[in-house]
Structure 1
Amino acid sequence: MLPKDFMLGAASAAYQVEGNNTHSDLWLMEQMPHTTFSEPSLDACDHYHRYEEDIRLAAAAGLNAYRFSIEWGRIEPEEGVFDEAEVEHYRDVIRCCRANGVEPVVTLHHFSSPIWLIRKGGWDAETTPADFERYVRHVMERLGGELSFVCTINEANMGLQIARIAERYAQQARAAAAAMAAASQAAEADGAVDESQVQMGLNLKKMMENQQLQKAENKEAFGTEDPQTFQSPRSRHSDEVVCEAHRRARAAIRELCPHVKVGLTLSLHDLQPVPGGEALAAAEWVDEFTHYLPVIEGDDFLGVQNYTRTRVGAEGDLPVPEGAEVTQMGYEFYPQALEHVLRAVAKEWTGDIIVTENGIGTDDDARRVAFIDEALAGVERCLDDGIPVKGYFYWSLMDNFEWQKGYSMRFGLIAFDRATQERSPKPSLAHLGSYVKKPLG
């Protein structure tokens, strides 16, 4: 049984649901002739205008919390220029949550960045932590008094995961180039890039193949052939830029709003070594988690985001086992992974934990229900063993724009018609809400 003050809700990201985030880097990237996006976001779910309906649907189903993000490009469309009307929009979203008995949990950066930031060097620039702090201060000075929980950065480790997969692809490409044409074709047909190892909708193979074609387009859009967006393969230097941005944001939040609990979120896999893969699995866990421990020391909570497991062999990550059930994203259907990750995290992090994302992309809502049941059963077992899990947010509240995969991946508890924007709650929404024993407050 979940505690009565347990936050049970769903999550979204502004860029994926609001629509028309024209001041953000990904909007420009969607428009490029050689874009890696399968389709443009356009109006998305029009959550920007329909948030009241969406929040009310969540509350009516019994959910008592909603994690959503604030779009930096809306708040600061030009460097140092703030749009107060957009600040007030997010105040309205927060107050709508409160009016419906839903705890708002705000994320200040969820993958997309202002165009001007990328033109300055993006997430490799020494100036970015200060720029992020300025934005955070502006938001918290105005909205912090109405918040209790803030995530600074979503999946701070994402760039390292992408770098690992990109390097694997590059190695395969070099090997193929050195082989005979027939061997090269066979290597390509074999599978090469396993995009399911990144917990985000990316077209990694297309990203790598389009690099040369995109250089001129990047130069025109961002002033550089190699823009350092948050999703770019990340160097150790870039990783430190992200970490410093979190430190400065946390300090600003503590100064301005000491009542607010602050943390960041990490994308974590249930790493399962097969014989011979133990050393590699351990190294991956350092990259994904433990090297961030000094960075998050003193945070009020850690946001854990998990979707599946990763089996690791002597040569690296292994494909999904033959015959296993897979989701639309190519992930193995493996809801048990969440419990495993929570237990692994708790061995080295003694603070509070919030499951800020966990979910499944599928058109079979019965499988979504089954996934939720198994995932929450694991959470309850962790709670029984004293692991301080304070909340669970299913990803996602509604079907949405799954980044480079477009609208083909359906994670939502609520479906929507792209032509009419009509909402249709799925049975899984009420099922998740049924776990709430007593509303917060």
Structure 2
Amino acid sequence: MLGAATAAHQVEGNNINSDCWVMEQLPHSSYDEPSLDAVDHYNRYEEDIKLMADAGLNTYRFSVEWARIQPTKDSWEASEIEHYRNVLKFCHKTGIKPIVTMHHFSSPKWLITEGGWESPKVVEYFADYCARAACELGDLMEYVFTINEANMRLQLASLIKDMKNRMKRTESDVQVGVNLMRENMQKAAMEAAQAFGVDDPGKVCNFVSLCTPEGDLLVMKAHEAARDAMKKECPHLKIGLTLSLHDMQWIPDGEENAKKEWDDEFTHYLPYIQKDDFLGAQCYTRKCYGPDGTVQSATNTSYTQMGYEDYPQAIGNVVRAAARDFKGDIIVTENGIATDNDNRRAEFINEALESIQACIMDGIPVKGYMYWSLLDNFEWQKGYSKTFGLIAVDRATQKRYPKGSLKALGAWAEQ
């Protein structure tokens, strides 16, 4: 499976019932700008999927938006289910295999009011949503991911703790567009509490927020409950989750630090994914460790717009590391580069896929590669300034401009 990926909130536009939309509108928002119409994928998905097919891609990973389907706790929008049925149907019509993610960072506003991802109630709520969606969409689906980057909450909590302790960590140490330690954060927290109707800013627990160890476990319980509930409705579905992973490397006396980070990032989740049909591996770069923590790679030559080291070989190394512990199929569900140099993007794709091809030649069961992302889109709190896409978008007109990198990725389908 060779394709590209998107996330609903980042591309669809006007996701007005989501927690992210609420957070974007705050007077002291941590978002650089609001998502607004995004790149209008909600209305232009046929054009975008056709561009993929024309380029030779055969798979599209996208998310359905919980906040659209269940905008309030007691409502269920049949028209939104029909919208996603139409997306799935068009994928099949154009020869594109859909891979569906049930939750990609954004949650319904009402869920946060109910305690969000630190409340035990989220397990039942998420499982019920996934089961009903599977019942109504499952005949058009095969591969499903419950939760995108299920380890992201714990990664952010660790990063913020280290930054508060003045350790040498930056926002680029997590593979998502966030703005941390900004001015007026206390005001923003108070505004968020008021917007979500909770009495304590610490109770605003969306998916990209501080996480307790108990909250980390709740994500895994929600995954297991959702997986089992969907399997009950549709036994044919192949179900897993995705994890944000780094290629862990080290210099002398840094190996133990690297191994501890890998355990935090990956191996401690293994008990909760043993019954999964596959693992979604997501990686953009590497981390290098010394005896006192992270160090700069001695061979580094350049960084991406996100502040990551430009290191395409990381994805192959991550797949090999994951395969040592996870004995099942692996799908690369995100890998890409934020750059305004599309020639470099095409080179990055070729180098990354060469590393994946080597994994396959060595017998590692890699079943697919999804580039992030199909379109230049809304990189969460970083807004529209980061360009990952295979397709550029003029947001004033929403006109699409396929890049040379789209053809470069499609050319691998013929190999």
User: Under a length normalisation based on structure 2, what TM-score does the superposition of the two structures give?
Assistant: 0.97
Shift, 1:298, TM fit: 1.1
What residue in structure 1 maps to residue 384 of structure 2?
A: 407
* SS of 2:162 mapped into structure 1: helix
* Residues 2, 59 of structure 2: 8 Å contact kept: yes
In the TM superposition, 1:131-146 aligns within 5 A as 131-146=125-140
Query: Is 1:247 the counterpart of 2:241 in the alignment?
Result: no
Shift, 1:375, TM fit: 0.6
What residue in structure 2 maps to residue 187 of structure 1?
A: none
Compared CA separation, residues 394 and 122, structure 1 to 2 (3 A): same
18, 26, 33: which one aligns with 2:20: 26
CA distance in structure 1 between the partners assigned to 2:311 and 2:9 by the alignment:
27
* SS of 1:356 mapped into structure 2: strand
CA distance in structure 1 between the partners assigned to 2:132 and 2:173 by the alignment:
36
| Deviation string, structure 1 residues 285-310 (Cα, Å, up to 9, x no partner) | 11110011110011000000000001
Query: Is 1:42 the counterpart of 2:36 in the alignment?
Result: yes
In the TM superposition, 1:226-305 aligns within 5 A as 226=202, 227-305=204-282
What residue in structure 1 maps to residue 53 of structure 2?
A: 59
365, 368, 375: which one aligns with 2:345: 368
| Deviation string, structure 1 residues 326-385 (Cα, Å, up to 9, x no partner) | 100011010010111011011111100000000000010111011000110011100011
What residue in structure 1 maps to residue 186 of structure 2?
A: 212
Query: Is 1:198 the counterpart of 2:174 in the alignment?
Result: yes
Q: 2:186 is aligned with what amino acid?
A: Q
What residue in structure 1 maps to residue 63 of structure 2?
A: 69
Q: Structure 1: which 5+ runs fail to align?
A: 1-6, 174-191
CA distance in structure 2 between the partners assigned to 1:116 and 1:315 by the alignment:
43
CA distance in structure 1 between the partners assigned to 2:135 and 2:355 by the alignment:
38
What residue in structure 2 maps to residue 378 of structure 1?
A: 355
| Deviation string, structure 1 residues 228-281 (Cα, Å, up to 9, x no partner) | 110112111000110000000110111111111000000000011222222111
CA distance in structure 2 between the partners assigned to 1:397 and 1:379 by the alignment:
19
* SS of 1:162 mapped into structure 2: helix
User: Under a length normalisation based on structure 1, what TM-score does the superposition of the two structures give?
Assistant: 0.92
CA distance in structure 2 between the partners assigned to 1:420 and 1:69 by the alignment:
24
CA distance in structure 1 between the partners assigned to 2:244 and 2:368 by the alignment:
16
What residue in structure 1 maps to residue 102 of structure 2?
A: 108
CA distance in structure 2 between the partners assigned to 1:294 and 1:411 by the alignment:
33
* Residues 122, 222 of structure 2: 8 Å contact kept: yes
CA distance in structure 1 between the partners assigned to 2:297 and 2:303 by the alignment:
8
| Deviation string, structure 1 residues 171-223 (Cα, Å, up to 9, x no partner) | 129xxxxxxxxxxxxxxxxxx541111000111232xx433222320221112
* Residues 8, 392 of structure 1: 8 Å contact kept: yes
What residue in structure 2 maps to residue 182 of structure 1?
A: none
* Residues 194, 319 of structure 1: 8 Å contact kept: no
Give the length in aligned residue pairs. 412
* SS of 2:325 mapped into structure 1: coil
Shift, 1:47, TM fit: 0.2
CA distance in structure 1 between the partners assigned to 2:217 and 2:74 by the alignment:
23
Q: 2:271 is aligned with what amino acid?
A: P
Shift, 1:399, TM fit: 0.2
Asked which structure has the greater RCO (Cα within 8 Å, sep 6+), the reply is 1
Query: Is 1:93 the counterpart of 2:70 in the alignment?
Result: no
* Residues 39, 404 of structure 1: 8 Å contact kept: yes
* Residues 413, 425 of structure 1: 8 Å contact kept: yes
* SS of 1:48 mapped into structure 2: helix
Q: 2:217 is aligned with what amino acid?
A: E
Compared CA separation, residues 281 and 210, structure 1 to 2 (3 A): farther
Q: 1:200 is aligned with what amino acid?
A: V
* SS of 2:333 mapped into structure 1: strand
Shift, 1:322, TM fit: 8.1
Q: Structure 2: which 5+ runs fail to align?
A: none
* Residues 218, 225 of structure 1: 8 Å contact kept: yes
Q: 1:304 is aligned with what amino acid?
A: A
* Residues 19, 109 of structure 2: 8 Å contact kept: yes
Q: C-alpha root-mean-square deviation of aligned residues, in Å?
A: 1.2
* Residues 320, 331 of structure 1: 8 Å contact kept: no
| Deviation string, structure 1 residues 381-432 (Cα, Å, up to 9, x no partner) | 0001100000000000000000010000000000000100000000010110
What residue in structure 1 maps to residue 307 of structure 2?
A: 330
Q: 1:215 is aligned with what amino acid?
A: A
